[in-house]
Amino acid sequence: MIRKYTYGNPVETGAVIQKLPDETQPFSLMQLDETQDGIRLFLRMAREDAVYGLGEQVRGINKRGFTYISDALDDPQHTEGRHNLYGGHNFLILDRKKEPSFGIFVDDPSRTVFDIGETKLDELCIQAGPDCVIYTVEGESLKDIAKQFRELIGRSYIAPKWAFGYQQSRWGYACAADVREAVVGHHSRQIPLDAVYMDIDYMERYKDFTVDGEKFPDFAEFVSEMKAQGIHLVPIIDAGVKMEEGYPVYEEGMREHYFCTDADGKEFVAAVWPGKSLFPDVLNSKAREWFGGQYRFLMEQGIDGFWNDMNEPAVFYSERNLKKVMKELRSIEDDNLDLYAFWHLKGLVNGLENNPEDYRQFYHNMDGVKIRHDKVHNLYGYYMTKAAADAFEHIAPGKRTLLFSRSSYIGMHRYGGIWTGDNASWWSHLLLSIQQMPSLNLCGILYTGSDIGGFGCDTTQDLLMRWLEFGIFTPLMRNHSALGTREQEVYQFENTGDFRNIIRIRYGLLPYIYSEYMKAALDNEMYFRPLAFDYPQDAHAAQVEDQLMTGSSIMIAPVYRQNATGRYVYLPEPMMMVRMKSLEEKTCTVLEPGHHYVDIALEETVFFVKKNRMLPMAVLDEDVRNISGVDMERLEWIGFTDTEASYVLYDDDGISKQYAPKENWKKIVRTKEALDVTA
């Protein structure tokens, strides 16, 4: 059951697709106070209660014990002390053991605070603005609550099938030769690869919807050359448009008044990669249509995938704030700076970037309604991505285009996925990635993954290998690293054959991964789930923070500690452990319920199959280069049963949006004797 409560005069965010009447009875699931600062929700939690959700955030799967803030921020410091990351995902489920559980979605695109037992251990306090809509969801189980919420907000984005293949990216592929080198590096070692990403280097002086003709001559021909090798090129698009006379995007936007303005109606100027830039007013329908139309330039040259970046929006400095800071710096130029004066100096400079004051200095024209940016801050990345997705319906109708974003709000999941931003090559960030996946799925974001190996810092061979062994299971499987860091293409390391084996396991698992993703999207389910969702009566399952149910048949338990040669695994029921060093080298062992220590060598992938379920695996040829070489009909079936096991297999052409025909669905039943691989 879903109830809707409206307060003040809220902005229509587009997060919800179902039209519900406002509840006539007072809000009762939590104490609600309308204060001078806005809406305050309060509830006292029992010690055994757990809290799930909030999408992209730091810390564990159970969100108790910290304060989380929805206030989209460009900050690569994803440490335990960080309260906000790139998105605003204001949905949580309170799993109550002695009272009915429920979900709550606070539809407020401005800064929203969730104090989940930080100020006081057993108190949940949510602080929203005065203008918001609150939805409560009650159901029979955690899964039921999650499904109802997903139905409320609409079906998740579905990527083209090739986007489930292995993908390589690096900030620093500065020319066509660098991209070719990455492709040859994989293909010459028979490592499958489906896409190579183009970071800001491909642009002409960081201008959106341009290609540097010296670095990438004959770009359309280059795109065609890559496609002939089974490689899709995926360029980045940033939110800021460079101020430059003669640049058509800038001139058109100025002429039609499509950029955000200051309080006086003059274009708001802030710096990003190209220096002084303007922000398209993507909350204005005409400006959004115009900006989305710009993607045509690259699509007409053969591009069929994009990633949107810097769309919190990121601000290096605003023109106004820079002048203010420079004036103060000049005034203290000759001062003898003591400790506190020096800290003030550092604060002046560091405070230029993503300054909250800047977000209060510019405005949107939401189809005739002028609204200050900070009131709708969390919507910017969502509507930038919606602009692209809406345009694709006209530019390439009926065809799936890869699209994902850094910043997002609930509702954007209908238009694209996300990646989890600028993580680091830290073991703790591998664990963080594992823990973020079910929280993102809960908020509708299914096409997601983290930068495998870590974006910032220098990765190591063992970290990259362990990360890949988890990344096998994430829908977006992309190796991405920052300029100035160690080159981390898998062929840069010793024992390249081990990396090849891991990536080939991903391609072998694609019939399962793709099928489970599609079922989750089409049925409004979660692809990744905490154990507690599948085993609600198992008290210990709720304590497990580093294992995930993945699709209908398997549980994963990745290794995420440096130098570890194994790990403890908790099995809520009997499961078959599948141990793989390659597609051809695997062993299966049935383990009883309970705690087990499992040896897992660095080059091994281990996962667990549920009883009476099956896992389809593709039989690959040695020279498979990309997903087109995976025969979805040439399968072996891995299962664990005393009598018979079953599986519903989904497949389609991977490009069109015809998802529902009966021929896409097949129920497979095998007896114990008929299984290809069993314990």
377 DSSP assignment: G
Could you tell me if 197 and 478 are in contact, meaning their C-beta atoms sit under 8 angstroms apart? Answer: yes
Dihedrals phi, psi of 621, to nearest 5 degrees? -75, 160
Q: What is the mean pLDDT of residues 586-603?
A: 97
pLDDT for 543 equals 96
CB neighbours of 263 closer than 8 A, spacing ≥ 6? 361, 363
pLDDT for 334 equals 86
155 DSSP assignment: P
pLDDT digit string, tens, across residues 252-273: 999 999 999 999 999 999 999 9
pLDDT confidence band for 343 (50 / 70 / 90): very high
- The helix or strand, by DSSP H or E, that contains position 436, with its residue range, turns out to be helix 427-442
- Tokens linked to 441: 């799925």
**Total-model pTM:** 0.97
pLDDT digit string, tens, across residues 359-403: 999 999 999 999 999 999 999 999 999 999 999 999 999 999 999
Q: What is the mean pLDDT of residues 110-123?
A: 98
Could you tell me if 480 and 468 are in contact, meaning their C-beta atoms sit under 8 angstroms apart? Answer: no
71 DSSP assignment: -
pLDDT at 609 > cutoff 80: yes
Rounded Cα distance, 62 and 65, in Å: 9
pLDDT digit string, tens, across residues 193-239: 999 999 999 999 999 999 999 999 999 999 999 999 999 999 999 99
Q: What is the mean pLDDT of residues 505-530?
A: 98
pLDDT digit string, tens, across residues 270-317: 999 999 999 999 999 999 999 999 999 999 999 999 999 999 999 999
Q: Where are the alpha helices (DSSP H) in 485-584?
A: 496-522, 531-534
Give the relative orientation of helices 285-293 and 380-395 as an angle to the nearest 10 degrees.
Answer: 60
Least confident of 156-170, 422-436, 655-669: 655-669
> Dihedral of CA 343/344/346/351: which sign?
positive
- What are the Cα distances from residue 266, in Å, to 249, 353, 361, 363? 18, 21, 11, 10
> Dihedral of CA 396/401/404/409: which sign?
positive
What percent of the chain clears pLDDT 70, i.e. is strictly above it? 100
Q: What is the mean pLDDT of residues 54-75?
A: 97
pLDDT digit string, tens, across residues 621-651: 999 999 999 999 999 999 999 999 999 999 9
Nearest of 612, 600, 480, 608 to residue 554 by alpha carbon: 608
Averaged pLDDT score across all residues of the chain: 97
pLDDT at 425 > cutoff 90: yes
pLDDT for 679 equals 77
Rounded Cα distance, 70 and 112, in Å: 5
Q: What is the mean pLDDT of residues 577-584?
A: 97
For 457-483, b where at least 16 C-beta lie within 10 A, e where not — what string? bbbbbbbbbbbbbbbbbbbbbbbbbbe
**DSSP helix/strand/coil, 151:** helix
Could you tell me if 517 and 527 are in contact, meaning their C-beta atoms sit under 8 angstroms apart? Answer: yes
Cis bond before residue 109 (omega within 30° of 0): no
pLDDT for 394 equals 97
pLDDT at 468 > cutoff 80: yes
- Tokens linked to 309: 């970046």
Nearest of 160, 234, 232, 236 to residue 447 by alpha carbon: 160
- Scan for tokens 């609930």, then name that residue: 410
- The helix or strand, by DSSP H or E, that contains position 226, with its residue range, turns out to be helix 219-228
Rounded Cα distance, 421 and 202, in Å: 20
Q: What share of the chain is helix, strand, coil (3-state, %, to 5)?
A: 30, 25, 45
- Scan for tokens 């970071």, then name that residue: 199
Rounded Cα distance, 587 and 575, in Å: 14
pLDDT for 345 equals 87
pLDDT at 662 > cutoff 90: no
Q: What is the mean pLDDT of residues 471-478?
A: 98
pLDDT at 341 > cutoff 90: no
CB neighbours of 115 closer than 8 A, spacing ≥ 6? 67, 123, 124, 125, 126, 127
pLDDT for 13 equals 98
Count the Cβ atoms, other than its own, within 10 Å of residue 574: 14
pLDDT for 342 equals 87
